[in-house]
Amino acid sequence: MEVQLSEERVLRLVPQLTLDDARILVENKKVHLVAGTVGALFTRPKPEEITLSYSELRYEPFWQVTACTHMVYERQRMFTVSASGPEVKQITLLGQQQPTQPQPKGSPTIVLSGVEHCEEDQRLRRMFTGDGTNKQDLERYLSFGSEEVIDLASYSWDGACMPPDTKAGAIIRQVITEIVRPVKAQVIHTENVSVEEIQLFFRPVYAFEYLWAAKNKRVVIECDGLTRDLTNGGKTFKKQIKSLLDRDLLFDISADAVGTFVPGGGIFVKLTKAAMNFKQS
């Protein structure tokens, strides 16, 4: 089996609104998002009673992996052919005469041994959160504009950048395990796996921490920097993210490890990987 890996890419999704724009959206709905359904309407806070204590822009990671397979193989099969009526005693096929076999019900039959020549192609795209959870609705972000990050070490982020907990090797393992499946075959002529896309995206998220002093309640409201969706119950990191983004650690794929991607043991794997070098001399 040959596994071909494409060039890895890191992309920053460009925010569709500024921090101030996001704050205005949140301010207009902060009473509902902070107070929720607590108490009757007359106990709900006034807008001025809920104050902004902290805000941040951060970039959250997600993975996109697209893979395809191409297989050419042969398998033996027995074909049963029914005669037109009980009077048929022999059938000549391809110049060979075959005696029919009577059946308890229906017409007599002959059984032929043949070989099926098969060609099979599959393709799938999978999306994963930074912790390795398969979440296909992340595809909605792929339509937004992005900027490729060539050198992670020198790239200037306009917000905190969160490294993914799950690295490329584990993500690719999940995809290949899903797409490579056993087939019933006597001879396999070609068995190729191509990982066409290995992309790490970072999407913008604005987070606003509000304090409702009368209730001693703090609530973090998040604004999606692409879709403008608002959610409460979020979190802030307040510059606690100190991990450096290292391309070699994020894309931890090696020829020695690729064998673990393929389900089942005893399979010879040839790895073909795009040659890349992003380190500056």
pLDDT value at residue 37:
54
Q: CA torsion angle for 24, 26, 27, 28 (degrees, to 10)?
A: 90
SS3 state at 187? strand
Per-residue pLDDT tens digits for 63-115: 999 999 999 999 999 999 999 999 999 999 888 899 999 999 889 999 999 99
pLDDT of res. 200: 96
In this prediction, residue 139 carries a pLDDT of: 96
pLDDT at 22: 96
Flag residues of the chain having pLDDT under 70: 37-43, 239-244, 253-281
- Distance from the first to the final alpha carbon of the chain: 36
User: For residue 280, what pLDDT is reported?
Assistant: 33
Q: Where are the domains of the chain?
A: 2-74+116-273, 76-115
Q: What is the rounded CA–CA span in Å between residue 279 and residue 253?
A: 17
| Res 275: pLDDT | 41
Name residue 222's beta-bridge partners.
207, 231
The maximal CA–CA distance of the chain, rounded, in angstroms, is: 97
d(Cα 99, Cα 105) in Å, to the nearest integer? 18
Cα–Cα distance for residue pair 182/194, rounded to 1 Å: 17
Give per-residue pLDDT as tens, 187-200: 999 989 999 999 99
Q: Which residues 6+ apart lie within 8 Å of 266 measured at CB?
A: none
